[in-house]
Amino acid sequence: MPQSSFIDIKNLSVGYTSRNGKIIPVLRDVNLSITRGDSIGLVGESGSGKSTLALAAMGYFKRGLHVISGQVQFDGIDMLNIERNALQRLRGGRLALIPQNSGQSLTPNLRIGQQISEALRLHGDLPATSFDVGVIDLLSQVRLPDPVGLTDRYPHELSGGQQQRVAIAMALASNPEALLLDEPTTGLDVTTQAHIMELLRDLAKDRNLAMLYVSHDLGAIARVCNKVMVMYAGETVLTGSAKQVLLSPRHPYAHGLLVSIPRLNEASLPQALDGRPPMPSETITGCAFADRCKLADQTCHKSPPPLNHLETGEAVRCFHHDQIGQLNQKTEKSARSNPTAADKGTALSLANLAVSYSQPGLLSKLFAPQDTPPSTVDRITIDIKKGETLGLVGESGSGKSTILKTIAGMVPAQSGNIILNQAERLDMMVEKRPAAHLRQVQIIFQNPDDSLNPRHTVAQVLAQPLRLYYGLSGTPLRDRSIDILEQVRLGEHYLERLPSQLSGGEKQRVAIARAFAADPEIILCDEVTSALDVSVQAAVLDLLDVLKRQDGTTYIFVSHDLAVVKAISDRVAVLYQGRICEIGPVAAVYSAPFHPYTDALLGAVLEPDPDVAPRLTADDVVELSPPKTGCPFQRRCPRKLGSICETDIPTAQEIAPGHVIHCHIPQLDL
């Protein structure tokens, strides 16, 4: 008999009432039990009901949602029928939440110290006089630098990683017995994420916590969870130990999710999991996953599969879980298009490019020229061949977006040249560029919500470039629009839709379609898959690759996800503080010898494999501006040689043809 469960959710169904009075379920008959010392990962695409389930464990439901049936118990206490005061004592007390996006979860008008001491006041047993000490103690427990100074800061003055640590400190204030984590590291840099995951692991072990860890990041789950539950369309489809679920998933959906993750040790594009989950309002007769399942047959469409409990301890909601082996045979990895063998010339040259955001006033220019901060981006020299994909990686603030914006003419260059097609200089700002230049350089952003006008239909979005650059109108315009939509695998019926009627992946396809409508020479992709689910990300990566093969387009692909960059790029440049650390063909950059920074980044990547642990070499300190002299990485470098790193710009060492590392460490020791 296993330990009695601490958090116990039984047959829980949660739903909302639609306009026409129907009750639409978002969670259907879900069971979940967590014992002390257990940490359970909850995975699934966005909209599958993960957060709703995690919040239900605290007896909390977002506005509009209500319990249809079922029970929620915490240590034997009925959380659905509990008196308000008792509930307030439990929430943030014995049961604490670490939220998604702590940046928005910290109250903007209260100082960090105030917010943490509020938690101490509400739940701790400390006397009021020792709150200050308590706050500082908590902040040091989560290894925040300068805890005393931090208490006085407001949330917006902290970096994303620091905000996340504050949220963890706040949750720990009450010495909780159970922790609920809702995507606590989504959107953080790899190094920050890896450090926070290690912190959470240690905490869980030291305090014998019960943890529920919600994430769509299977790498993070692999690192902290011993059990995993996979959800799809509001239902549990698979539960099992972390090893079972992540290494040999017995459900086609879990299998699809896992193969859609780009891996560092593979050179090919991940397999896309096509389609999207049904909306909660759709009526499903058979298996909810049937439309996307490669194993689906007649039975699957007729009746919903039950949750089968296997002898191995897993529970699977699938009729054909014993045939899962067939999926592995069906999935031959789609080989990525070959790096263009024939050299067709240079598409874009960046020659000694520098960019600075600070505009020193005349006075400081005259009297204290040495006081001007170093340029945000400096000494960027790269030639990008026609048809090549150049990946740019680095943590946030490393100047990746700044370089793209400068090429696109949205930020002025401080010095240096940008040369298109070996002939035309792109030194004008976007407003002044001739239409021909504008057409040839297109940019796609991370968040399609920001770049698509919410009041423009897809037809209007596509018409803009087609009208502007090709003077199309009437039937030719429509035909061409449909043509382009089909290339991004959206049908004609999407023409009249507004962005609000599209899913995240579809919106990003429309943004891609708009870029391709101009038939550009070069497309700048800024974190284009970072806001998407892994399954959708794989589809978008695949699409970009197919389009490139067709049109021979050149890409500059920016991402903080090293595996994604590896999957799509021919060549990679690793940036730190706006300077190139290492550049070369993908295979060379992703294998030894490494620049110390590349090494730190690669070591921090969390693979969706419970047996692989990250290597943390450098600290995850946030640097606000690059050092004035010497190597950009000097302040964090674990292998720093000494003062030479602080004074001299590291020399470019050509390790192999085209593979250059900027470091003072001699080539043989790297």
Instruction: Choose the contact partner of 399 out of ligand ADP, ligand SF4, Mg ion, none; CB within 5 to 8 A by kind.
Output: ligand ADP
CB 135 within 8 A of CB 121: no
Instruction: Choose the contact partner of 249 out of other proteins, ligand SF4, ligand ADP, none; CB within 5 to 8 A by kind.
Output: none
Pick out residues in 558-597 that bind ligand SF4 (CB under 6 A): 596
Closer by beta carbon to ligand SF4, 74 or else 319: 319
- Tell me the C-alpha distance between 483 and 487, whole Å: 6
Binding span for ligand SF4 by CB under 6 A among 418-426, 556-564, 586-594, 629-637: 629-637
Instruction: Choose the contact partner of 154 out of other proteins, ligand ADP, Mg ion, none; CB within 5 to 8 A by kind.
Output: other proteins
User: 432: phi > 0 → left, psi -120 to 50 → alpha, else beta; which?
Assistant: alpha
The vertex-576 CA angle with 630 and 418, nearest 5°, equals 95
- Tell me the C-alpha distance between 544 and 175, whole Å: 48
Q: Is residue 420 within the footprint of ligand SF4 (CB under 6 A)?
A: no
Token pair, residue 595, equals 């620049």
Q: Is residue 288 within the footprint of other proteins (CB under 8 A)?
A: no
Binding span for ligand SF4 by CB under 6 A among 223-231, 388-396, 533-541, 630-638: 630-638
Instruction: Choose the contact partner of 645 out of other proteins, ligand SF4, Mg ion, none; CB within 5 to 8 A by kind.
Output: ligand SF4
Q: Is residue 300 within the footprint of ligand SF4 (CB under 6 A)?
A: yes
| Residue whose token pair is 């007390």 | 93
Q: Give SS3 for 193.
A: helix
Closer by beta carbon to ligand SF4, 221 or else 287: 287
Among 33, 35, 105, 241, binds other proteins (CB under 8 A): 105
Q: Give SS3 for 360.
A: coil
Binding span for ligand SF4 by CB under 6 A among 284-292, 347-355, 408-416, 441-449: 284-292
- Tell me the C-alpha distance between 508 and 502, whole Å: 9
Token pair, residue 274, equals 């096509």
Q: Is residue 104 within the footprint of other proteins (CB under 8 A)?
A: yes
Residue 309 bridge partners (DSSP)? 315
Closer by beta carbon to ligand SF4, 295 or else 589: 295
Instruction: Choose the contact partner of 97 out of other proteins, ligand ADP, ligand SF4, none; CB within 5 to 8 A by kind.
Output: other proteins
**AA letter at 121:** R
Instruction: Choose the contact partner of 400 out of ligand ADP, other proteins, ligand SF4, none; CB within 5 to 8 A by kind.
Output: ligand ADP
| Residue whose token pair is 């057409």 | 439
Pairing of strands 210-214, 39-43: parallel
Among 24, 67, 122, 419, binds other proteins (CB under 8 A): 122
Instruction: Choose the contact partner of 318 out of ligand ADP, ligand SF4, other proteins, none; CB within 5 to 8 A by kind.
Output: ligand SF4
The DSSP secondary structure of 542-579, one letter per residue, reads: HHHHHHHHHH--EEEEE-S-HHHHHHH-SEEEEEETTE
Instruction: Choose the contact partner of 470 out of other proteins, Mg ion, ligand ADP, none; CB within 5 to 8 A by kind.
Output: none
Closer by beta carbon to ligand ADP, 70 or else 397: 397
Q: Is 603 exposed, middle or buried (0-12, 13-18, 19+ CB in 10 A)?
A: middle
Pick out residues in 63-102 that bind other proteins (CB under 8 A): 63, 88-93, 96-97, 99-101
CB 270 within 8 A of CB 261: yes
Instruction: Choose the contact partner of 289 out of ligand ADP, other proteins, ligand SF4, none; CB within 5 to 8 A by kind.
Output: ligand SF4
Residue 91 bridge partners (DSSP)? 95
Closer by beta carbon to ligand ADP, 187 or else 275: 187
Pick out residues in 160-219 that bind other proteins (CB under 8 A): 170
Binding span for ligand SF4 by CB under 6 A among 25-33, 183-191, 613-621, 662-670: 662-670
DSSP secondary-structure letter at 371? G
Cα atoms in the Cβ-side hemisphere of radius 13 Å centred on 363: 0
Give the shortest CB-354-to-ligand ADP separation in angstroms.
13
Q: Is residue 401 within the footprint of Mg ion (CB under 5 A)?
A: yes
Closer by beta carbon to Mg ion, 163 or else 401: 401
Give the shortest CB-50-to-other proteins separation in angstroms.
16
Token pair, residue 423, equals 């002939």
Closer by beta carbon to Mg ion, 92 or else 448: 448
- Tell me the C-alpha distance between 371 and 378, whole Å: 17
- Tell me the C-alpha distance between 91 and 8, whole Å: 16
Q: Is 515 exposed, middle or buried (0-12, 13-18, 19+ CB in 10 A)?
A: buried
Token pair, residue 620, equals 């995850």
Token pair, residue 361, equals 């006033």
Binding span for Mg ion by CB under 5 A among 284-292, 397-405, 466-474, 601-609: 397-405
Element (H, E) at 210: strand 210-214
| Residue whose token pair is 């908590």 | 138
Give the shortest CB-301-to-ligand SF4 separation in angstroms.
8
Q: Phi and psi at residue 344, in whole multiples of 5°?
A: -105, 20
| Residue whose token pair is 């063909």 | 585
Q: Phi and psi at residue 135, in whole multiples of 5°?
A: -60, -45
Residue 8 bridge partners (DSSP)? 33, 73
Closer by beta carbon to ligand ADP, 147 or else 394: 394
Closer by beta carbon to ligand ADP, 4 or else 357: 357
Give the shortest CB-321-to-ligand SF4 separation in angstroms.
7
CA distances from 428 to 359, 467, 499 (A): 18, 23, 32
Q: Is residue 249 within the footprint of ligand SF4 (CB under 6 A)?
A: no
- Tell me the C-alpha distance between 581 and 650, whole Å: 9
Closer by beta carbon to ligand SF4, 547 or else 637: 637
Q: Is residue 118 within the footprint of other proteins (CB under 8 A)?
A: yes
Other Cβ atoms less than 10 A from the Cβ of 199: the count is 16
CB 181 within 8 A of CB 211: yes
Among 229, 318, 452, 524, binds ligand SF4 (CB under 6 A): 318
Instruction: Choose the contact partner of 357 out of ligand ADP, other proteins, Mg ion, none; CB within 5 to 8 A by kind.
Output: ligand ADP
Closer by beta carbon to ligand ADP, 176 or else 448: 448
Instruction: Report the residue closest to Mg ion, judged by CB.
Output: 401
**Which residues of this chain interact with ligand ADP, rule CB under 6 A?**
357, 376, 394, 396-402
Among 645, 653, 655, 660, binds ligand SF4 (CB under 6 A): 645
Q: Is residue 328 within the footprint of other proteins (CB under 8 A)?
A: no
Q: Phi and psi at residue 42, in whole multiples of 5°?
A: -115, 115
Instruction: By CB under 5 A, name the binding residues for Mg ion.
Output: 401
Instruction: By CB under 6 A, name the binding residues for ligand SF4.
Output: 252, 287, 289-290, 293, 295-296, 300, 305, 318-320, 596, 631, 633-634, 637, 639-641, 645, 650, 663-665
Instruction: By CB under 8 A, name the binding residues for other proteins.
Output: 55, 58, 60, 62-63, 88-93, 96-97, 99-101, 104-110, 118-119, 122-123, 154, 156-157, 170
